[in-house]
Amino acid sequence: MSVRNIATAVTAAALGTLLATLPATSASAAPVPTPAGWESQALGLPAAQRIAQGEGITVAVLDSGVMTDHPALRGKVTTGPDFYKDGLKPGDPRWGRHGTAMASDVLKVAPKADILSVRVLDDKHDRGLDEGPSGPSPVGQGIDYAVDHGADVISMSLGGEMWGASYDDTEVNALARAAQKGIPVVASAGNEGDSFNEASYPAGYPGVIAVAALQKGGTRAAFSTVRTYNTVAAPGVEIVSAKHTGGWAASSGTSPAAALTSGVVALMLSHNGKLTPAQVRAVLTRTATHPPGGRNALVGYGPISAAAAVRASAKPPADGTSPVKYRGKEFFAEPDGTPKTTHPPLETDLVTIGLGAAGAGLLMLAGAVLITRAGRRRAAAQG
């Protein structure tokens, strides 16, 4: 997710000091592994990495940019275009904070994979609250660029939240092209589970592997959005990740959960490069630890297992997906020109007045909830 929703928190001052002072490497040296935490055991990474480490796989990280000179990322990152086009450059506080962390989380799981960084947002604004530059969707453009430039997996730890969650035709079309090229797409489910629980895109689009966040112990993190589009879940609390200014810090959110899952997909593809997106999804869901009933809106099919997924990718289930001819009713009326993702404006004054009054009340309620939530988060950070 964007920087507001990553809920960054260093687990202890001593840990932060130690990690930040780890020695830097020369440009020709191998990357320094990002320190592993509880997520390594939860995912079964040691066993998975004995089988595959992401060799030959490129993961496109669509985010706020990636600092290529971080010790954990040296020699691993190719930088693509900046589709956000706000004039910011590396070194600005709003450039690369979130993206650098997410890229390091991918490589924590798949250390021999490569990263294609495509900038589609900044580190200050939430998509939805501030859509950024006008024009075509930066996310849609980023997906198309990744498809055309060798990405094997597309990782998007981002999404629209609160008042701005929205469906975008250009993004849907770009995702269709990714599916046609056989590229799995992973996205974070959203961090609104403890407030308004708004839907988040791109996680909500068909075909996207939407990842919920787990806390230690394997249960859902309180902030993780609860939606029927959730596919699987992965660790997302106090995940040590690279800082864009150097060193490491712990972060929480469905963002690291999605990045770690993208790394698992990279392991699967390096073990079996013929996997289709449908097979990737099937293997992840079948090898996950299912909740009662098989799946639910909290964690989808449950916590993923990197080791089990990589082993199962050698012999995946058959891909039964194929184009299907539409056999429904035929409608011969001419299109009326109304976009199918929006509604025509209301024309009733009384409804407008009622909505205005309701909106004022809703804003008061929202303010109270946000203040309460902020206080709760501050208390947790101080504790």
pLDDT in tens, 129-139: 344 556 789 99
145 located within any domain? yes
337 sits in the region (left: phi over 0; alpha: psi -120 to 50; else beta) called left
260, 290, 312 - which closes a domain? 312
110 sits in the region (left: phi over 0; alpha: psi -120 to 50; else beta) called beta
Residue 221 and residue 93 share a domain: yes
pLDDT in tens, 287-312: 999 999 999 999 999 999 999 999 99
Residue 68 and residue 175 share a domain: yes
The domain in which residue 354 lies consists of 342-383
Whole-number Å distance between alpha carbons of 299 and 296: 6
Whole-number Å distance between alpha carbons of 327 and 101: 47
**pLDDT (0 to 100) of residue 336:** 53
Active site amino acids: 63, 98, 255
301 located within any domain? yes
329 located within any domain? no
Residue 79 and residue 138 share a domain: yes
328 located within any domain? no
Residue 72 and residue 151 share a domain: yes
**pLDDT (0 to 100) of residue 368:** 52
Domain count for the chain: 2
312, 330, 364 - which closes a domain? 312
pLDDT in tens, 229-263: 999 999 999 999 999 999 999 999 999 999 999 99
**pLDDT (0 to 100) of residue 12:** 38
**pLDDT (0 to 100) of residue 30:** 83
Q: Do residues 277 and 208 touch, judged by C-beta distance below 8 A?
A: no
317 located within any domain? no
Of 63, 83, 57, 77, the C-alpha closest to 144 is 83
Residue 356 and residue 298 share a domain: no
Residue 271 CA: distances (Å) to CA of 49, 50, 316: 10, 11, 11
Q: Do residues 268 and 280 touch, judged by C-beta distance below 8 A?
A: yes
Residue 51 and residue 117 share a domain: yes
The dihedral through the CA atoms of 296, 199, 59, 222 has a sign that is: negative
pLDDT in tens, 313-336: 999 999 877 666 667 766 555 555
Residue 145 and residue 94 share a domain: yes
Residue 382 and residue 268 share a domain: no
pTM: 0.80
**pLDDT (0 to 100) of residue 28:** 52
335 located within any domain? no
First vs last Cα of the chain: how many Å apart?
Answer: 24
Spans in the chain with pLDDT lower than 50: 1-27, 126-131, 162-164, 343-344, 346-348, 350-355, 371-383
296, 312, 328 - which closes a domain? 312
Q: Is 322 exposed, middle or buried (0-12, 13-18, 19+ CB in 10 A)?
A: exposed
Dump the DSSP string for 249-277.
EEE-SHHHHHHHHHHHHHHHHHH-TT--H
Residue 364 and residue 264 share a domain: no
Place of tokens 């988040």: 200
231 located within any domain? yes
**pLDDT (0 to 100) of residue 293:** 96
Residue 296 and residue 373 share a domain: no
